Amino acid sequence: MKFSIHQDISNAYCVLETGEPLDRKGASLLADIPGDAVLDLASLAHKVRLRYAGEPEGFHTCSIMNAKSGECGENCRFCAQSRHNSAAIDVYDLASEDEVLAQAAEARAQGVRHFGIVTSGYGYLKMTPEFRRILAMIDRLHHELPGLNVCASVGVLSKETAAALAAHGIAHYNINIQVAPSRYGDLIADTHTVDERIATVRLLREHAIPVCCGGILGVGESMLERIDMIFALAELDVSVIPLNVLVPIEGTPLAANRTAGLADIVKTFAICRLVHPRKIIKFAAGRETVMKDFQGLLMLSGANGFLTGGYLTTRGRDVSDDMKFMGQLEHFSGELP
């Protein structure tokens, strides 16, 4: 009996050889490979990650703080913080500087390199008192925790607020397009458009702020639509791509959504790596709670980063457990310890 690798995976080895991104045709063909070929694809994506996105940082780790929770007027279907949904969550106004500082200091002490301040809501188009408080928080973290990469995710920005953020210095700004732009209105929200979010990405890039922008898997999209999202991110030239797996939350329209199939999620991570050989691809929500036993497999399918220490409205696992996990993943980096 002859054993051989699937032809479409074999063709994609050009990414490993050249470091050039896989084209759309190659990515679309990989979306159709059968289940018994998926680990071969994961293996290729892992090798590409090691060759082109392994150094100098190793795994990228970040923690976030939900600094303002709930009462959001937007109607994102997956989100527990939307006023249109009825999820039972803690609702609170913007946290104090001291609270944010304490949480950032704890993350840094545990070895986390990036810390993101996140707020619920549409965003900030004007220099409101609340937005100025966020800028002051950023300054305080820079001053008191030198070496920590301070990030922010506070929604849609205007020219004025993007310029202000740039002036205060942030490592990354997170704003997700979530799905293929053509499906945003029916799969995610219709109280705002994906174009407003894309305009924010472009504003940030004008100020040379590295953007963290990705999406969520399992909200009803097809594999080809995932590939559309992956290529939309390439056009936006983002630096970090967070991939979330839907955590269905009671009280949201997606509460009864079945998790996207595991093999398709592995394929999506791997294809994302082949289209973005040098980017940070970060496994965000759903890693422990939805992927459970298979989170390690996902981390060996092209990802080189993860969010640790809890999400916006759902818990993660302890950072110390994740740090051990990261050490174990390094066993697959070529030289055995």
Rank residues 72 and 137 by Cβ distance to ligand SF4 and give the closer one. 72
Retrieve residue 153's tokens: 């995710």
Residues that bind ligand SF4 (CB under 6 A): 72, 74, 76, 79, 81-82, 120-122
Amino acid at 111: G
Question: Smallest distance, Å, CB 179 to ligand SF4?
Answer: 13
27, 55 contact by CB (below 8 A): no
Question: Smallest distance, Å, CB 74 to ligand SF4?
Answer: 4
Question: Smallest distance, Å, CB 82 to ligand SF4?
Answer: 4
Rank residues 121 and 296 by Cβ distance to ligand SF4 and give the closer one. 121
Question: Smallest distance, Å, CB 191 to ligand SF4?
Answer: 8
Peptide bond into 248 cis (omega under 30): no
Rank residues 61 and 120 by Cβ distance to ligand SF4 and give the closer one. 120
Question: Smallest distance, Å, CB 264 to ligand SF4?
Answer: 23
**Distance (Å, whole) CA 75 – CA 4:** 48
**Distance (Å, whole) CA 292 – CA 288:** 5
Rank residues 62 and 72 by Cβ distance to ligand SF4 and give the closer one. 72
DSSP letters along 33-58, please? Answer: --GGGHHHHHHHHHHHHHHHHSTTTS
Find where tokens 């090691």 sit.
50
Rank residues 37 and 249 by Cβ distance to ligand SF4 and give the closer one. 249
For residue 159, the number of C-alpha atoms closer than 13 Å in the C-beta half-sphere is: 0
What CA–CA distances, in Å, run from 210 to 2, 82, 115, 232?
Answer: 47, 27, 14, 16
